Structure 1
Amino acid sequence: MTTTASLHAKLDALYDVWLSLNPDSSAAEFNKFASFFSEDCTAYLLSMRELATPSIGRPGVVEGIKDVLKDTRIKERRVVERFENTSGSKISVEMNNRLLVHGKEIDVFPETATAVFDDKGLITNFKLYCCRSAVVEIIQDVTGVGPYRRQDKCH
Protein backbone atom coordinates (compact mmCIF):
# COMPACT_ATOMS: atom_id res chain seq x y z
CA MET A 1 0.00 0.00 0.00
CA THR A 2 1.31 3.42 -0.96
CA THR A 3 1.43 5.96 1.84
CA THR A 4 1.57 9.71 1.54
CA ALA A 5 4.98 9.53 3.23
CA SER A 6 6.24 7.29 0.42
CA LEU A 7 4.77 9.67 -2.18
CA HIS A 8 6.54 12.61 -0.55
CA ALA A 9 9.74 10.54 -0.62
CA LYS A 10 9.24 9.96 -4.36
CA LEU A 11 8.69 13.68 -4.95
CA ASP A 12 11.83 14.42 -2.90
CA ALA A 13 13.75 11.93 -5.08
CA LEU A 14 12.42 13.63 -8.23
CA TYR A 15 13.70 16.96 -6.94
CA ASP A 16 17.08 15.39 -6.07
CA VAL A 17 17.44 14.44 -9.74
CA TRP A 18 16.12 17.86 -10.84
CA LEU A 19 18.79 19.61 -8.76
CA SER A 20 21.49 17.50 -10.43
CA LEU A 21 20.40 18.39 -13.98
CA ASN A 22 21.86 21.08 -16.19
CA PRO A 23 21.53 21.83 -19.91
CA ASP A 24 24.53 19.57 -20.64
CA SER A 25 23.20 16.55 -18.73
CA SER A 26 23.19 13.24 -20.58
CA ALA A 27 20.15 11.62 -22.15
CA ALA A 28 20.30 8.99 -19.39
CA GLU A 29 20.09 11.69 -16.71
CA PHE A 30 17.08 13.31 -18.40
CA ASN A 31 15.45 9.89 -18.78
CA LYS A 32 16.03 9.23 -15.08
CA PHE A 33 14.08 12.41 -14.34
CA ALA A 34 11.26 11.35 -16.70
CA SER A 35 11.11 7.87 -15.12
CA PHE A 36 9.27 9.39 -12.13
CA PHE A 37 6.34 10.14 -14.45
CA SER A 38 3.77 7.83 -16.02
CA GLU A 39 3.91 7.24 -19.78
CA ASP A 40 0.82 9.41 -20.32
CA CYS A 41 1.44 12.09 -17.69
CA THR A 42 0.65 15.78 -17.84
CA ALA A 43 3.29 18.06 -16.32
CA TYR A 44 3.57 21.82 -15.88
CA LEU A 45 7.32 22.05 -15.15
CA LEU A 46 7.61 25.82 -15.39
CA SER A 47 4.51 27.41 -13.92
CA MET A 48 0.78 27.06 -14.34
CA ARG A 49 0.69 30.79 -15.09
CA GLU A 50 3.20 30.81 -17.96
CA LEU A 51 2.54 27.58 -19.78
CA ALA A 52 -0.44 27.32 -22.09
CA THR A 53 0.48 23.73 -22.98
CA PRO A 54 1.85 21.21 -20.48
CA SER A 55 4.45 18.56 -21.17
CA ILE A 56 2.70 15.33 -22.17
CA GLY A 57 4.22 11.90 -21.60
CA ARG A 58 7.80 11.08 -20.74
CA PRO A 59 9.27 12.50 -23.99
CA GLY A 60 7.38 15.74 -23.28
CA VAL A 61 8.74 15.82 -19.73
CA VAL A 62 12.30 15.48 -21.06
CA GLU A 63 11.77 18.34 -23.52
CA GLY A 64 9.97 20.41 -20.87
CA ILE A 65 12.74 20.11 -18.29
CA LYS A 66 15.36 20.91 -20.95
CA ASP A 67 13.45 24.12 -21.74
CA VAL A 68 13.30 25.05 -18.05
CA LEU A 69 17.03 24.47 -17.61
CA LYS A 70 17.91 26.85 -20.46
CA ASP A 71 17.09 29.72 -18.12
CA THR A 72 16.62 28.45 -14.56
CA ARG A 73 18.24 25.96 -12.21
CA ILE A 74 17.19 25.06 -8.70
CA LYS A 75 20.28 25.47 -6.52
CA GLU A 76 18.61 24.55 -3.24
CA ARG A 77 15.17 23.15 -2.48
CA ARG A 78 13.74 24.22 0.85
CA VAL A 79 10.52 22.52 1.93
CA VAL A 80 8.28 24.70 4.08
CA GLU A 81 5.25 22.43 4.43
CA ARG A 82 3.83 19.18 3.05
CA PHE A 83 0.18 18.43 2.34
CA GLU A 84 -1.91 15.53 1.08
CA ASN A 85 -5.51 14.94 0.13
CA THR A 86 -7.77 12.49 1.92
CA SER A 87 -7.59 9.85 -0.82
CA GLY A 88 -3.81 9.77 -0.47
CA SER A 89 -2.94 9.95 -4.16
CA LYS A 90 -2.36 13.72 -4.38
CA ILE A 91 0.31 15.61 -2.47
CA SER A 92 1.55 19.19 -2.40
CA VAL A 93 4.75 20.75 -1.17
CA GLU A 94 5.28 24.41 -0.37
CA MET A 95 8.88 25.48 -0.95
CA ASN A 96 11.16 28.51 -0.65
CA ASN A 97 13.82 27.55 -3.17
CA ARG A 98 17.07 29.19 -4.16
CA LEU A 99 17.33 29.60 -7.94
CA LEU A 100 20.05 30.47 -10.41
CA VAL A 101 18.72 32.37 -13.43
CA HIS A 102 21.30 33.12 -16.13
CA GLY A 103 24.00 33.38 -13.48
CA LYS A 104 21.96 35.54 -11.09
CA GLU A 105 20.69 34.14 -7.81
CA ILE A 106 17.15 34.50 -6.47
CA ASP A 107 16.85 33.67 -2.81
CA VAL A 108 13.98 33.10 -1.68
CA PHE A 109 11.68 31.90 -4.49
CA PRO A 110 8.27 30.66 -3.25
CA GLU A 111 6.82 27.73 -5.19
CA THR A 112 4.20 25.06 -4.58
CA ALA A 113 4.31 21.72 -6.38
CA THR A 114 1.30 19.44 -6.59
CA ALA A 115 1.61 15.85 -7.80
CA VAL A 116 -0.97 13.13 -8.42
CA PHE A 117 0.30 9.55 -8.41
CA ASP A 118 -1.07 6.37 -9.94
CA ASP A 119 -1.20 3.01 -8.16
CA LYS A 120 2.36 2.24 -9.36
CA GLY A 121 3.70 5.35 -7.63
CA LEU A 122 4.31 7.26 -10.87
CA ILE A 123 3.31 10.90 -11.32
CA THR A 124 0.30 11.28 -13.61
CA ASN A 125 -0.17 15.01 -13.08
CA PHE A 126 2.38 17.59 -11.92
CA LYS A 127 1.78 21.32 -11.48
CA LEU A 128 3.98 24.14 -10.23
CA TYR A 129 2.37 27.26 -8.80
CA CYS A 130 4.45 30.42 -8.46
CA CYS A 131 4.87 33.99 -9.57
CA ARG A 132 7.85 34.03 -11.95
CA SER A 133 8.07 37.81 -12.33
CA ALA A 134 11.52 37.96 -10.72
CA VAL A 135 12.75 35.14 -12.96
CA VAL A 136 11.24 36.63 -16.12
CA GLU A 137 12.77 40.02 -15.36
CA ILE A 138 16.26 38.48 -15.16
CA ILE A 139 15.69 36.46 -18.34
CA GLN A 140 14.57 39.62 -20.13
CA ASP A 141 17.53 41.64 -18.84
CA VAL A 142 19.97 38.96 -20.03
CA THR A 143 18.36 37.88 -23.30
CA GLY A 144 16.35 40.94 -24.28
CA VAL A 145 13.29 38.72 -24.71
CA GLY A 146 10.36 39.03 -22.34
CA PRO A 147 6.97 40.53 -21.61
CA TYR A 148 7.96 43.66 -19.69
CA ARG A 149 7.83 47.01 -21.41
CA ARG A 150 10.72 49.34 -20.66
CA GLN A 151 9.90 52.78 -19.31
CA ASP A 152 12.40 55.61 -19.74
CA LYS A 153 10.72 57.87 -17.20
CA CYS A 154 8.38 57.27 -14.37
CA HIS A 155 6.57 60.63 -14.72
Structure 2
Amino acid sequence: MPTTSTLHDRLDALYTAWANLTPSSPPADFDKFAAFFDDDCRAWLLSMRELRTPSIGRKGVVDGVKEVLKDQRIEERRVVDRFESADGSKISVEMNNRLVVHGRELDPFPETATAVFNEKGLITDFKVYCCRSPIVEIVQDVTGEGPYKCHPVDN
Protein backbone atom coordinates (compact mmCIF):
# COMPACT_ATOMS: atom_id res chain seq x y z
CA MET A 1 0.00 0.00 0.00
CA PRO A 2 1.35 3.45 -0.89
CA THR A 3 2.10 5.84 1.98
CA THR A 4 -0.46 8.49 2.96
CA SER A 5 1.96 11.12 1.68
CA THR A 6 1.95 9.40 -1.72
CA LEU A 7 -1.85 9.21 -1.66
CA HIS A 8 -2.13 12.92 -0.88
CA ASP A 9 0.23 13.58 -3.79
CA ARG A 10 -2.04 11.49 -6.04
CA LEU A 11 -5.11 13.40 -4.85
CA ASP A 12 -3.29 16.68 -5.53
CA ALA A 13 -2.47 15.43 -9.04
CA LEU A 14 -6.11 14.43 -9.56
CA TYR A 15 -7.22 17.95 -8.66
CA THR A 16 -4.58 19.45 -10.96
CA ALA A 17 -5.95 17.35 -13.82
CA TRP A 18 -9.52 18.31 -12.84
CA ALA A 19 -8.70 22.03 -12.73
CA ASN A 20 -7.27 21.81 -16.25
CA LEU A 21 -10.42 20.24 -17.70
CA THR A 22 -12.99 22.21 -19.67
CA PRO A 23 -16.11 20.97 -21.45
CA SER A 24 -14.13 21.12 -24.72
CA SER A 25 -11.05 19.26 -23.44
CA PRO A 26 -9.91 16.40 -25.70
CA PRO A 27 -10.83 12.84 -24.73
CA ALA A 28 -7.21 12.15 -23.72
CA ASP A 29 -7.47 14.76 -20.94
CA PHE A 30 -10.61 13.12 -19.59
CA ASP A 31 -8.91 9.71 -19.78
CA LYS A 32 -5.95 11.15 -17.82
CA PHE A 33 -8.40 12.27 -15.12
CA ALA A 34 -10.17 8.89 -15.07
CA ALA A 35 -6.83 7.05 -14.78
CA PHE A 36 -6.67 8.05 -11.10
CA PHE A 37 -9.69 5.80 -10.47
CA ASP A 38 -10.03 2.03 -10.28
CA ASP A 39 -12.07 0.35 -13.03
CA ASP A 40 -14.80 -0.48 -10.48
CA CYS A 41 -14.76 2.79 -8.54
CA ARG A 42 -17.68 4.75 -7.15
CA ALA A 43 -17.40 8.54 -7.22
CA TRP A 44 -19.64 11.36 -6.08
CA LEU A 45 -18.04 14.23 -8.02
CA LEU A 46 -20.68 16.89 -7.43
CA SER A 47 -21.78 16.47 -3.84
CA MET A 48 -22.96 13.68 -1.61
CA ARG A 49 -26.22 15.58 -1.08
CA GLU A 50 -27.04 15.99 -4.76
CA LEU A 51 -26.36 12.58 -6.21
CA ARG A 52 -28.40 9.55 -5.36
CA THR A 53 -26.29 7.39 -7.61
CA PRO A 54 -22.51 7.67 -7.87
CA SER A 55 -20.51 7.63 -11.05
CA ILE A 56 -19.47 4.01 -11.54
CA GLY A 57 -16.19 3.02 -13.16
CA ARG A 58 -13.87 5.12 -15.26
CA LYS A 59 -16.46 5.82 -17.97
CA GLY A 60 -18.88 6.95 -15.27
CA VAL A 61 -16.20 9.23 -13.81
CA VAL A 62 -15.64 10.84 -17.22
CA ASP A 63 -19.39 11.32 -17.71
CA GLY A 64 -19.71 12.68 -14.16
CA VAL A 65 -16.90 15.22 -14.44
CA LYS A 66 -18.27 16.39 -17.81
CA GLU A 67 -21.61 17.01 -16.08
CA VAL A 68 -19.90 19.02 -13.31
CA LEU A 69 -17.99 21.09 -15.88
CA LYS A 70 -21.24 22.24 -17.50
CA ASP A 71 -21.77 24.59 -14.54
CA GLN A 72 -18.49 25.00 -12.69
CA ARG A 73 -14.75 24.64 -12.85
CA ILE A 74 -11.98 24.85 -10.30
CA GLU A 75 -10.04 28.07 -10.81
CA GLU A 76 -7.79 27.60 -7.77
CA ARG A 77 -7.58 24.80 -5.23
CA ARG A 78 -6.57 25.82 -1.72
CA VAL A 79 -5.90 23.07 0.79
CA VAL A 80 -6.78 23.95 4.38
CA ASP A 81 -5.94 20.63 6.03
CA ARG A 82 -5.28 16.96 5.30
CA PHE A 83 -6.36 13.85 7.19
CA GLU A 84 -5.91 10.12 6.88
CA SER A 85 -7.53 7.00 8.34
CA ALA A 86 -5.75 4.82 10.88
CA ASP A 87 -4.99 2.14 8.27
CA GLY A 88 -3.83 4.73 5.73
CA SER A 89 -6.16 3.66 2.91
CA LYS A 90 -8.51 6.66 3.20
CA ILE A 91 -7.49 10.30 3.02
CA SER A 92 -9.48 13.50 3.26
CA VAL A 93 -8.66 17.05 2.34
CA GLU A 94 -10.44 20.19 3.44
CA MET A 95 -10.33 22.97 0.85
CA ASN A 96 -11.34 26.59 0.36
CA ASN A 97 -11.39 26.72 -3.41
CA ARG A 98 -12.02 29.45 -5.92
CA LEU A 99 -14.55 28.36 -8.55
CA VAL A 100 -15.90 29.85 -11.74
CA VAL A 101 -19.61 29.19 -12.13
CA HIS A 102 -21.07 30.18 -15.51
CA GLY A 103 -18.40 32.87 -15.83
CA ARG A 104 -18.83 34.23 -12.30
CA GLU A 105 -16.22 33.81 -9.58
CA LEU A 106 -17.19 32.09 -6.34
CA ASP A 107 -14.54 32.61 -3.67
CA PRO A 108 -14.16 31.04 -1.23
CA PHE A 109 -16.02 27.78 -1.78
CA PRO A 110 -15.45 25.34 1.11
CA GLU A 111 -15.55 21.64 0.41
CA THR A 112 -14.04 18.41 1.67
CA ALA A 113 -13.06 15.44 -0.48
CA THR A 114 -12.51 11.93 0.81
CA ALA A 115 -10.82 9.22 -1.24
CA VAL A 116 -10.30 5.53 -0.54
CA PHE A 117 -7.41 3.92 -2.37
CA ASN A 118 -6.60 0.31 -3.20
CA GLU A 119 -3.16 -1.30 -2.96
CA LYS A 120 -2.35 -0.08 -6.50
CA GLY A 121 -2.91 3.53 -5.45
CA LEU A 122 -6.13 3.87 -7.46
CA ILE A 123 -9.25 5.51 -6.05
CA THR A 124 -12.04 3.04 -5.31
CA ASP A 125 -14.38 5.48 -3.54
CA PHE A 126 -14.44 9.28 -3.89
CA LYS A 127 -16.82 11.67 -2.17
CA VAL A 128 -17.15 15.44 -2.26
CA TYR A 129 -18.88 17.10 0.70
CA CYS A 130 -20.08 20.69 0.30
CA CYS A 131 -23.09 22.99 0.36
CA ARG A 132 -23.92 23.73 -3.27
CA SER A 133 -26.40 26.54 -2.51
CA PRO A 134 -24.01 29.33 -3.67
CA ILE A 135 -23.37 27.45 -6.92
CA VAL A 136 -27.06 26.74 -7.49
CA GLU A 137 -27.89 30.38 -6.86
CA ILE A 138 -25.45 31.51 -9.58
CA VAL A 139 -26.60 28.81 -12.02
CA GLN A 140 -30.19 29.85 -11.46
CA ASP A 141 -29.40 33.55 -11.82
CA VAL A 142 -27.58 32.94 -15.12
CA THR A 143 -29.88 30.30 -16.63
CA GLY A 144 -33.21 31.11 -14.99
CA GLU A 145 -33.58 27.48 -13.97
CA GLY A 146 -33.10 25.90 -10.57
CA PRO A 147 -34.68 24.98 -7.25
CA TYR A 148 -34.69 28.56 -5.92
CA LYS A 149 -36.83 29.87 -8.75
CA CYS A 150 -39.72 31.94 -7.43
CA HIS A 151 -43.09 30.44 -8.20
CA PRO A 152 -46.31 32.49 -8.14
CA VAL A 153 -48.53 31.70 -5.19
CA ASP A 154 -52.21 31.07 -5.88
CA ASN A 155 -54.51 32.82 -3.39
Q: How does the TM-score come out when normalised to structure 2?
A: 0.96
Which whole-Å CA distance do the structure 1 matches of 2:23 and 2:5 have between them? 31
Q: Tell me the residue number matched to 2:95.
A: 95
- Secondary structure, counterpart of 1:127 in structure 2: strand
Q: Tell me the residue number matched to 2:129.
A: 129
Q: Tell me the residue number matched to 1:73.
A: 73
Which whole-Å CA distance do the structure 2 matches of 1:132 and 1:101 have between them? 11
Q: Tell me the residue number matched to 1:142.
A: 142
Superposition map of 1:4-19 within 5 A:
4-19=4-19
Give 5+ residue unaligned stretches, structure 2. Answer: none
Give 5+ residue unaligned stretches, structure 1. Answer: none
Q: Does 1:39 align with 2:39?
A: yes
Tell whether the 8 Å contact from 2:140 to 2:149 is kept in structure 1 after alignment: no
2:94 is matched by which residue type in structure 1?
Answer: E
Once superposed, which parts of structure 1, at least 4 consecutive aligned residues long, lie more than 3 Å away? none
Which whole-Å CA distance do the structure 1 matches of 2:24 and 2:113 have between them? 25
2:124 is matched by which residue type in structure 1?
Answer: T
Q: How does the TM-score come out when normalised to structure 1?
A: 0.96
Which whole-Å CA distance do the structure 2 matches of 1:142 and 1:136 have between them? 10
Shift of 1:151: 7.1
